[in-house]
Amino acid sequence: MSTANTLNDWFTTPQGLYLLAREQAFFDHAVIDIFGFNALQLGLPEHDFLRNSRMPLHVMAGEEAGVQVRLETDELPFECCTLDLVLLPHVLEFNAHPHQVLREVERVLMPEGHIIISGFNPRSLWGIRRAVGSRMGYPWCGNFIALTRLKDWLALLGFEVVAGRFACYAPPLANPGLLSRFHFMEPAGDRWWAVCGGAYCLQAIKRVPGMRLIKPKWNEGLVSKLLPAAPKLNREVSQRTETETQ
């Protein structure tokens, strides 16, 4: 059996198409109700996960060819607090410093900005396939990140998880005919073993603690001395208003 040299090559296989259809549906549903001006997708430029976004500016960026902005995903060339939405489709498990990638995303996101992540679930049939089988080729060469670990990273960076789901409960079979026979596991998995899907999608918001202004306690006597004309002016305005109303 041949191995895929890139993640995009793998997405053309029966396994990849099976996963891509479910992830595209999640991204399409999630981005349509997120408002702002600037949206960024990191990686997989061949697949437009921002196609349903209403934001005026969509940017495809990443380390591979075919992107609009070529960059290192753990050193984003954007100013702080300039983006409203960042998508990370299977970026973290194929980066040597996934936590640093999240730090950079947190830095460039506006307060209340959104991040949407997709990843492979190590606690699934797909994770077992990676653990006991060959790790050559994509996606098995990646470092699958457990959802609990990812949530801990997001919480430490000040993100609040607001939505998510698992998908791909069928075993990762290469034969499309055999794979189609297991599609009945999709609705069953959502109901009976929801955390065991082969992949997950997660949406989180960057929360910034609000500032509360502490007002000074004014000395009324001192204010009347410093502004002697203010009470007189207020009385004149009040008397004039009363006269006009009469």
Q: Is residue 234 part of a domain?
A: no
pLDDT, one tens digit per residue, over 79-133 is 999 999 999 999 999 999 999 999 999 999 999 999 999 999 999 999 999 998 8
Residue 11 is classified by DSSP as T
Spatial distance between the Cα atoms of 232 and 243, rounded to a whole number of angstroms? 17
In a domain, 241, yes or no: no
Helix locations, the chain, DSSP H: 7-10, 14-31, 98-108, 125-132, 147-156, 176-181, 185-192, 220-226, 229-245
- Whether residue 51 contacts residue 41, with contact meaning beta carbons closer than 8 Å, is answered with no
CA distance 37 to 92: 25
Does residue 224 sit within a domain? no
Q: What is the pLDDT of residue 241?
A: 52
CB 84 within 8 A of CB 39: yes
Residue 211 pLDDT class (50, 70, 90 cuts): very low
pLDDT at 11 over 80: yes
User: Do the domain assignments include residue 91?
Assistant: yes
Average pLDDT (4-18) is 91
User: Distance between CA 98 and CA 89 in Å, rounded?
Assistant: 13
Reported confidence tier of residue 227, pLDDT bands at 50, 70, 90: low
Q: Per the structure, how many domains does the chain have? A: 1
Residue 6 has pLDDT above 80, yes or no: yes
What pLDDT shows up at residue 179?
76
Where residue 188 sits, what CATH number does that domain have?
A: 3.40.50.150
pLDDT in tens, 134-188: 788 999 999 999 999 999 999 999 999 999 999 998 888 888 777 777 777 777 6
2 within some domain: no
Torsion of CA 41, 44, 47, 48, to 10 degrees: 10
- The answer on pLDDT for 229 being more than 70 is no
Q: What is the pLDDT of residue 185?
A: 72
Task: Report how far residue 238's alpha carbon sits from residue 242's, in angstroms, rounded to the nearest whole number.
Answer: 6
Q: What range defines the domain where residue 157 resides?
A: 7-206
Which of 14-23, 75-84, 228-237 has the least mean pLDDT? 228-237
Condensed to tens digits (0 to 9), the pLDDT of residues 188-210 reads 666 667 788 999 999 999 998 87
In single-letter form, the type of residue at position 26 comes to: F
Task: Give φ, ψ of 40 to 5 degrees.
Answer: -125, 135
> Is position 212 within any domain?
no
Q: In the structure encoding, which two tokens stand for residue 225, read together?
A: 């001395």
Per-residue tokens: 184: 């009945």
Q: Is residue 124 part of a domain?
A: yes
Provide the pLDDT confidence category of residue 5 given band limits of 50, 70 and 90. Answer: confident
Residue 24 has pLDDT above 60, yes or no: yes
pTM score > 0.85 for this model?
no
